[in-house]
Amino acid sequence: MNLSTIDAAVVLVYTLGLILLALWISREKSGHEKNTDDYFLASNSLPWWAIGASLIAANISAEQIIGMSGSGYAIGLAIASYEWMAAITLIIVGKYCLPIFLQRKIYTIPQFLENRYDHRVRTILAVFWLGVYIFVNLTAVLWLGALAIKTIAGVDMMYGMLFLACVSVAYSLYGGLKAIAMTDIVQIVVLVLGGLILSYICLDLIGEGKGILAGFNTLTKKTPKKFNMILSKDNPHYVSLPGLSVLLGGMWIMNFSYWGFNQYIIQRALAAKSIHEAQKGIAFAAYLKLLMPIIVVLPGIAAVILAPQLARPDEAYPVMMQLMPVGLKGLVFAALIAAVVSSLGSMTNSISTIFTMDLYAFYKPNLSQKHYVFVGRAVSLGSLILVILCAKPLLGDSEQAFQFIQEFTGFFTPGICVLFMLGMFWKKATANGALCAAFGSLVFSIALKYGWATLPFMDRVGVVFLLCLAVAIIVSILEGNKVQEKAVNLGDVDFKTQTSFKIASIGVICILIALYTTWW
Q: What is the mean pLDDT of the chain?
A: 86
Residue 141's alpha-carbon distances to 101, 345, 376, 430, in angstroms, are: 28, 11, 21, 36
Stretch 120-148: mean pLDDT: 86
- Give residue-wise pLDDT tens across range 146-175: 877 887 778 888 898 999 988 888 777 766
- Give residue-wise pLDDT tens across range 241-300: 888 888 888 889 989 998 999 887 888 888 888 899 999 999 999 999 999 999 889 999
- Give residue-wise pLDDT tens across range 445-504: 999 989 998 888 889 999 999 999 999 999 999 998 999 999 999 888 888 999 999 999
Q: Which amino acid is at 11?
A: V
Q: Is the pTM of this model over 0.95?
A: no
Q: Which amino acid is at 26?
A: S
Q: Which of 164, 225, 176, 161 is nearest to 22 (CA)?
A: 176
Q: Which of 43-52, 145-154, 402-411 has the lowest mean pLDDT?
A: 402-411
Statement: residue 353 has pLDDT above 80:
yes
CB burial readout 84-117, b (16+ within 10 A) else e: bbbbbbbbbbbbbbbbbbbeeebbbbbbbbbebb
> What are the chain's domains?
5-24+42-409+489-518 (1.20.1730.10)
Using pLDDT thresholds of 50, 70 and 90, give the confidence band for residue 332. confident
The alpha carbon of residue 428 and the mean position of all alpha carbons in its chain are separated, in whole angstroms, by 31
Q: Which amino acid is at 155?
A: V
CB 100 within 8 A of CB 352: no
Adjacent-strand bridge partners of 459: none
